[in-house]
């Protein structure tokens, strides 16, 4: 398997931001990942880059001036005043106005825009930003732990050079913000795999396929509780293969949300580290410029495990990885197994019950077949 030039975006400050006590989103997981990547000696096999922080002006390539201006000013103290004065930009407990929220967003967005630039200039074949993947952020509103949509900003950067971009989202939640941003264009195809039914954000049925010129270019694959590696692969491989054939993307952005892993605190799937990383291996094998982004992931140890292994997959060294964890700053915490892999549990796979997954696959393939006629 041939080598790829890999860029890895990391900012040493990113792990210090906190959404607040008790909030499930923990930026610290990016630092845990980085410490494991370091312990496995991967840093000297790739370009390690500190992202240029995205400016407010750069963010307005997608978001409204008013919303970005608000985010740039808001502090924990002024949140209430600013929020109830005019439009409500931050709603509920999901998106608190935490200390340094704007800087955190500028690191996340800066990494994804930088990753895009690495591909368009030909400097890298694969670019990684585990601090990105915040797929729920809307043009004028924060949503679901996401404030600035780094993915949309990264894709907009890719579109300056490439005619067509494919966005794939394997986070347990629907990639609604990215879908909405490109709903009416045929230059970006979005494809989200997610839990559907009494689950945030509630969108992403197979009837939602895009509008106008974009009709057919939004693909949704709704899944049920307990999705296993086998169930996931039975839809991922055929659907993505068909997309690569009919859409022929110039670049692919893969959102690697880790909340689709077994044992996640907010997720409800039963996918192992190997099942999740198979998606990365599958796309790397297709040899198209690739961006890997983070996203959800709430069982912090497992997020670190997964994204470390997926970094190894990007480098093509996953077969040389020792599944017994090397010494690292969090070693004790990885007990009692002290192993890298995330294994499945005994929950029921509700997709397997009634053949509903076959219908979902057939439906998606039918949608893609219609694109060419
Ligand atoms: C503060 C403290 C906020 C504890 C939020 C779980 C919390 C959640 C918390 C939570 C929580 C959600 C909703 C709220 C509908 C809304 C990064 C009115 C124990 C990409 C975002 C999920 C997922 C949002 C983000 C969801 C991503 N679930 N404890 N909040 N209500 N919000 O359901 O896709 O992974 O849960
Ligand atoms: Ca998803
Ligand atoms: Zn999620």
At 13-67, the pLDDT tens digits run 999 999 999 999 999 999 999 999 999 999 999 999 999 999 999 999 999 999 9
pLDDT in tens, 122-149: 999 999 999 999 999 999 999 999 999 9
Phi and psi angles of residue 30, each rounded to the nearest 5 degrees, phi first: -70, -35
Q: Report the side by side order of strands in the sheet with 188-195.
A: 47-49, 6-9, 126-129, 290-293, 251-255, 165-169, 188-195, 218-223
Q: What number does the ligand 1 atom closest to the CA of 25 have?
A: 17
- pLDDT, mean of residues 269-285: 98
Query: 């909030």: which residue's tokens?
Result: 23
Residue 19 Cα: closest atom of ligand 1: 1
CA-based angle 181:183:187, to the nearest 5?
A: 90
In this structure, the residue with its CA closest to atom 25 of ligand 1 is: 144
Mutating to test ligand 1, I would choose from 76, 92, 94 the residue with most ligand atoms within 8 A of its C-beta, which is 94
Mean predicted lDDT score pLDDT of the chain: 96
Pick the ligand that lies closest to the CA of residue 132: 1
Pair 5, 118: CB distance under 8 Å: no
Q: Which ligand number lies closest to the CA of residue 227?
A: 2
**pLDDT tier, 194 (very low <50, low <70, confident <90, very high otherwise):** very high
**Which tokens hold the place of 364?**
């998606």
The whole-model pTM stands at 0.98
Q: Where are the beta strands (DSSP E) in the chain?
A: 6-9, 47-49, 126-129, 165-169, 188-195, 218-223, 251-255, 290-293
φ, ψ of residue 204 in degrees (nearest 5): 100, 40
Angle between helices 65-73 and 101-120 (to 10 degrees): 130
The answer to whether residue 88 scores a pLDDT higher than 80 is: no
Dihedral in degrees, nearest 10, Cα atoms 345, 231, 173, 252? 120
Instruction: Kindly report, residue by residue over 152-188, the tens digit of the pLDDT.
Output: 999 999 999 999 999 999 999 999 999 999 999 999 9
Does the predicted interface ipTM exceed a cut of 0.90? yes
Q: Who lines ligand 1 at CB under 6 A?
A: 22-24, 92-94, 134-136, 144-146, 171, 173, 200, 257, 259, 266, 295-296
Residue 71: exposure state from Cβ atoms within 10 A (0-12, 13-18, ≥19): buried
Q: State the average pLDDT over residues 218-238.
A: 98
89 in Cβ contact with 128 (< 8 Å): no
- 93 Cα to the center of ligand 1, angstroms: 8
Helices 150-158 and 101-120, interaxial angle, to 10°? Answer: 20
Predicted confidence at residue 157, as pLDDT, reads: 99
Q: How far is the CA of 192 from the centre of ligand 2 (A)?
A: 4
- Ligand 2 center to residue 194 CA distance, Å? 4
* Residue of 34, 136, 194, 276 with catalytic role: 136
Which residues does residue 47 pair with via DSSP β-bridges, in sequence order?
7
Ligand 1 pocket: which of 30, 266, 295, 300 to mutate (most atoms within 8 A of CB): 266
Asked about 136 being catalytic, the answer comes back as yes
The Cα–Cα gap between 308 and 348 comes to 28
DSSP secondary structure code for residue 339 in this structure: B
**Does the structure show a pLDDT above 70 at 81?**
no
Residue owning tokens 């499930």: 24
298 in Cβ contact with 269 (< 8 Å):
no
Per the CB < 8 A criterion, the answer to whether 176 and 201 are in contact is yes
């Amino acid at each position: 398997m041939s080598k790829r030039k890999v860029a890895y975006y990391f900012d040493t400050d990113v792990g210090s931001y906190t959404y607040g006590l008790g909030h499930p989103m923990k930026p610290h997981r990016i630092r845990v990942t980085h410490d494991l990547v370091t312990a496995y000696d991967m840093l000297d096999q790739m370009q390690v880059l500190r992202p240029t922080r995205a400016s407010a002006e750069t963010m307005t390539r997608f978001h409204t001036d008013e919303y970005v201006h608000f985010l740039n000013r808001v502090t924990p103290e002024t949140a209430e005043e600013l929020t109830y004065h005019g439009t409500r930009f931050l709603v509920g407990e999901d998106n608190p106005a935490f200390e340094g929220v704007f800087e955190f967003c500028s690191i996340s967005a800066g990494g994804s825009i930088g990753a895009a630039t690495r591909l368009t200039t030909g400097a890298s074949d694969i670019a990684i930003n585990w601090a990105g993947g915040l797929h729920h952020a809307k043009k004028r509103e924060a949503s679901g732990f996401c404030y600035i949509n780094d993915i949309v900003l990264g894709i907009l950067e890719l579109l300056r050079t490439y005619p067509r971009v494919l966005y794939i989202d394997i986070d347990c939640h629907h990639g609604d913000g990215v879908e909405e941003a490109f709903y009416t264009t045929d230059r970006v195809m979005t494809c989200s795999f997610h839990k559907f039914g009494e689950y945030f954000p509630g969108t992403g049925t197979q009837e939602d396929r895009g509008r106008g010129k974009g009709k057919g270019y939004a693909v949704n694959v709704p899944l049920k509780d307990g999705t296993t590696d086998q169930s996931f692969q039975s839809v991922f491989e055929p659907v993505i293969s068909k997309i690569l054939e009919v859409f022929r993307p110039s670049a692919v952005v893969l959102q690697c949300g880790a909340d689709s892993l077994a044992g996640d605190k907010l997720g409800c799937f039963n996918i192992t580290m190997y099942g999740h990383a198979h998606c990365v291996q599958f796309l790397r094998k297709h040899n198209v410029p690739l961006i890997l982004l983070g996203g959800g992931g709430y069982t912090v140890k497992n997020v670190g495990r997964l994204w470390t292994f997926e970094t190894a997959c990007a480098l093509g060294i996953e077969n040389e990885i020792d599944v017994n964890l090397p010494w690292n700053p969090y070693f004790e915490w990885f007990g009692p197994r002290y192993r890298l892999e995330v294994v499945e549990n005994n929950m029921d796979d509700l997709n397997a019950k009634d053949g509903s997954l076959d219908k979902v696959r057939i439906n998606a393939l039918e949608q893609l077949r219609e694109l060419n006629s």
